[in-house]
Amino acid sequence: MRHDELFLWFLSDPAQPRYVGQLRLVEAGKGVSLHYAAQWLGEGFPLSEDLPLVDTEHLPRWKGLAAGAVDDARPDRWGERVIQYLDRPARLSLMEYLYYAGDARFGALGVSTSAAEYQPRFAGPLPRLQSAQLLSDVAHKIIDKEPVTDVERGMLAAGGSFGGAKPKALIEIDGQQWVIKFFNNEPVDVPLIEHASMTLAAKAGIRVATTRVVPLSGENAVAVLRYDRNGSRRIHCNSAGTALRAQTVAGDEPVFGYPQLAQLLRRVGVADHDEYLQDMRELFQRMVFNILIDNTDDHEKNHALQVLDPARYGQYRLSPAYDVLPTNSGQGYQEFVVGERGRDSTLENAMSQSELFGLTNGQAAEMIVEVIRVVETWKAHFAEHGVSTADIESLADRIDESTLGEQRRNFRGSLASVPKRSRRRSPFDR
């Protein structure tokens, strides 16, 4: 079935879906537009800053994307791969991907074939924890392009088109939705390393999504509790990519970076001063932690904002951190801009625009020293969480023996000599 027109719904309370408007496939594959319904214009809210409540067709501002926050409702590479394999749409357009992603997609938006009632693509209940091994087996079959049974097809269809690039699925554990991420023939035990990295980040004062290791036959998986769910309710979210594109002047290319996201939080973060300032400063911690553990996969989809009260302006909150783990690449630059020297993975670069995070140089240096203190324990922490000696040694080549290790060792004797309390107050302090 080809879909040139679909209908967007808001599902904060899934028991009471609210119709948002019409989605239309823009010609020549340029993307998907949104036209708000009259009732949403009167009683709704802008889904993102570039989708104001105006009675017009909001066209995608970049080719190949959906308009504004609608783009976050589509699957990423793994989800598209599952859809191609299981559903074999007659046409691989963005509208097909939006439809076949089903009801369990990221955030609180849903896609329906009807404007009168919410009719998503039905995929059945989510598989439970005891099905984790079978889900892993099905994911490997898709990777190897092997045939799957009808039972396996149904299990993966229920939650297999979730976002991200690596094999994953949605699963229910104790009545809550988790994303389970599978081993993908990497040279190290990535699921176990991700769990160890996330718990290490928590020790550094970073709010992280809850993780747990799921042992499987001969390998591990890691389950991550969804931060866009609160019981039965769904939390409207914008990815950092969507939020930063929304503030970009038409015709310009968006700049995806930590300082840019910090300034967005300052402008449209939660109304309480202490909370948005806390988010800005925690974002600085996350940036430093990612640099020091060689997490260079920190692109705009790996940061998100929760919209705590969608009906009120300025209620964005930095979501818990996720997808935090060493990429073991040693490439020397981040995917997100760090500071004045662009994406260079250096503490000097991180310090270069500390004021944009609401920090003085002294405060930024103190934060870096604290993150260094935690990162220096990474080997013992990883071993405590079951990471093998061989995997730790492999990661140490990047984290300890390269320029990252040198930066940790040198920082205390150089930039860390900045006084603990700078005479110049942060402009964000009251």
* pLDDT attached to residue 420: 46
**What is the predicted pLDDT for the residue at 312?**
66
Whether 129-230 shares its CATH topology with 238-417 is answered no
Query: For residue 423, what pLDDT is reported?
Result: 41
For residue 173, give the amino acid letter.
I
Q: How many CB atoms lie within 10 A of CB 369?
A: 17
Burial 172-181 (b: 16+ CB within 10 A, else e): bbeeebbbbb
Cα torsion through 143, 146, 147, 153, rounded to 10 = -20
Q: Which fold has domain 238-417?
A: 1.10.1070
77 near 165, Cβ under 8 Å? yes
At residue 88, the pLDDT reads 85
Predicted local confidence at residue 417, as pLDDT = 47
- Where are the chain's structural domains? 5-112, 129-230, 238-417
Kindly report, residue by residue over 323-357, the tens digit of the pLDDT.
999 998 889 999 999 999 999 999 999 999 999 99
Evaluate whether 277 touches 360 at the Cβ level (below 8 Å): no
In the prediction, which pLDDT does 272 show? 75
Q: Which of 157, 149, 154, 179 minimizes the C-alpha distance to 166?
A: 179
Return the CATH number of the domain spanning residue range 129-230: 3.30.200.120
Q: Which two tokens stand for residue 375?
A: 């990162």
Name residue 294's amino acid.
Answer: D
In this prediction, residue 422 carries a pLDDT of: 44
What pLDDT, in 10s, does the model give residues 243-267? Answer: 999 999 877 899 999 999 999 999 9
The amino acid that residue 298 corresponds to is D
Q: What is the pLDDT of residue 341?
A: 97
**11-54, pLDDT tens digit by residue?**
999 999 999 999 999 976 679 999 999 999 999 999 999 999 99
Nearest to 184 by CA among 233, 139, 224: 139
Which contacts (CB < 8 Å, 24+ apart) does range 305-312 have? 305/237, 305/238, 305/239, 305/240, 305/243, 305/265, 306/227, 306/228, 306/235, 306/236, 306/237, 307/235, 307/236, 307/237, 307/238, 308/235, 308/270, 310/12, 310/45, 310/236, 311/45, 312/271
- SS3 category, 225: strand
CA 87 to chain centre: 25
pLDDT (0 to 100) of residue 290 = 98
In this prediction, the residues of the chain whose per-residue pLDDT falls under 70 are: 1, 28-29, 159-164, 273, 312-314, 412-430
Dihedral, CA of residue 39, residue 41, residue 44 and residue 45, to nearest 10:
170
pLDDT tens figures, 98-122:
999 999 999 999 999 999 999 999 8
Burial class of 273 by CB neighbour count within 10 A (0 to 12, 13 to 18, 19+): middle
Q: Give pLDDT, residue 354.
A: 97
